[in-house]
Structure 1
Amino acid sequence: MELCFATNNQHKIDEVAGQLGQLFTLKTLRDIGCYVELPETTGTIPGNSRQKAEYVWTHFGISCFADDSGLEVDALNGEPGVDSAFYSGSRDFRKNIEKLLTNLTYVTNRKAQFRTVFTLILQGVEYQFEGIITGQIQFEPRGDGGFGYDPIFQPDGYKRTFAEMSITEKNGISHRSRALAKMITYLQQQIH
């Protein structure tokens, strides 16, 4: 079965490709001839996920899935949330991390969660799958792996940040992998 992952983020493509398995042929936006920046204007994580998948289905007619993710920090009333990628006004994650840490300078409650919502459109029918992992925001970045806020997010039950973990270890517990596992289970049920 062919499925398009509606993202231009190579980190996400690599993360998902390793978990999708041989039952599916993963297509990228480039593979299907889509070179536009997909819309993300709904103001919510589930809404943006749906909006991107619907764009691909409407314009290219291929079964597809899209995700949207965000880091939600308790003490900041859920910020950066849906604005995680542009929190500092740009896609520069060093600046995004810097702004987040500045906003938490005198804050002791460092509780946060990463949340991902996948929207799957399979032959025109839409489904959504959510994954969440809770953790703590660290006081300074640690680790060279991962991307985005990974250097400052330490998942509950672990002594290392996402950026200090191997890609395999992170993929075993991350918000994206949890949502993806739900979607893959659903897809496998459809094939059998």
Structure 2
Amino acid sequence: MSRKLARRQLTPGKLVIATHNKGKLKEMQDLLAPFGMECLSAGELGLAEPEETGTTFVENALIKAHAAAQATGLPALSDDSGLSVAALGGAPGVYTADWAEQGPREGGPGRDWYMAMGKVEGKLARLGPDAPRDAAFHSVLALAWPDGEAVTFEGKIDGSLTWPPRGTTGFGYDPVFIPEGDTRTFSQLDPAEKNAISHRARAFAKLMAEQFAG
């Protein structure tokens, strides 16, 4: 559920997208383009990535949005998202990106998403061939203003996991996630198809209904 503001709304202009993830940035830019927002990424502004110390998607999304808004003096929008696998007790969950970490590299930590997908598959394989493969993607958007006011919006899409990975578009765990009602992975969908149904799109629909409604 969103925590309602007193109808405080964004106006066309600059908005910081608090991410260094190019794939996530592109999705968010495409979703916001019709509303006259000039999206600047935390990466291109040279903002440091704050330490995500929260234990929920909501907490981590707020950490990132507040940090970007305070650093730039502009409204900031962040996304904290991840994959939860029922048979793994909801893991990797808020540690979705951590499962892809390879350790420090020049320019920041390196991430190997194929390795991360393999970790999930390996844990499922150890549970046996009959282990359920139900999974869900979660997204929490946090919109923060420099004065500290903030609001969150949540989206979720259910599905299942497949192996080996399939498809060439998307990012993260997209190549192994099949959304409910389809036979293709997120990485086999056209980006416009994914953006119409994804967890992030569902969170965005709530944001747009509040922020850009007439």
Q: Return the TM-score normalized by structure 1.
A: 0.92
Match of 1:57 among 69, 77, 97: 69
Aligned counterparts of 1:173 and 1:185: Cα–Cα separation in 2 = 16
Q: How many residues align?
A: 189
Aligned counterparts of 2:100 and 2:51: Cα–Cα separation in 1 = 19
Structure 1 position 92 matched with structure 2 position 112: yes
How far is 1:8 from its partner?
Answer: 1.0
Which structure ranks higher in relative contact order (CA pairs < 8 Å, sequence separation ≥ 6)? 2
Structure 1 position 27 matched with structure 2 position 27: no
Structure 1 position 71 matched with structure 2 position 83: yes
Q: Is the 8 A contact 2:66 2:146 kept in 1?
A: no
For structure 2, the residue ranges without an aligned partner over 5 or more in a row are 1-11, 103-110
How far is 1:176 from its partner?
Answer: 0.8
Structure 1 position 108 matched with structure 2 position 131: yes
| Pairing of 1:41-190 with structure 2 (within 5 A) | 41-90=53-102, 91-105=111-125, 106=128, 107-122=130-145, 124=147, 125-189=149-213
Q: Return the TM-score normalized by structure 2.
A: 0.83
SS at match of 2:171: coil
Match of 1:6 in 2: 18
Aligned counterparts of 1:89 and 1:179: Cα–Cα separation in 2 = 26
Sort the Cα spacing of 1:89 and 1:34 in 2 relative to 1 into closer, same or farther, 3 A: closer
SS at match of 1:115: strand
Aligned counterparts of 1:114 and 1:74: Cα–Cα separation in 2 = 11
Aligned counterparts of 2:60 and 2:52: Cα–Cα separation in 1 = 5
Aligned counterparts of 1:123 and 1:181: Cα–Cα separation in 2 = 23
Q: Which stretch shows the higher mean deviation, 167-176 or 79-88?
A: 79-88
Q: Which amino acid aligns with 1:53?
A: A
Q: Is the 8 A contact 2:66 2:145 kept in 1?
A: no
Aligned counterparts of 2:35 and 2:150: Cα–Cα separation in 1 = 23
How far is 1:175 from its partner?
Answer: 0.4
- Cα RMSD after superposing both structures: 1.5
How far is 1:60 from its partner?
Answer: 2.0
How far is 1:135 from its partner?
Answer: 0.2
How far is 1:177 from its partner?
Answer: 1.0
SS at match of 1:26: strand
Aligned counterparts of 2:189 and 2:156: Cα–Cα separation in 1 = 18
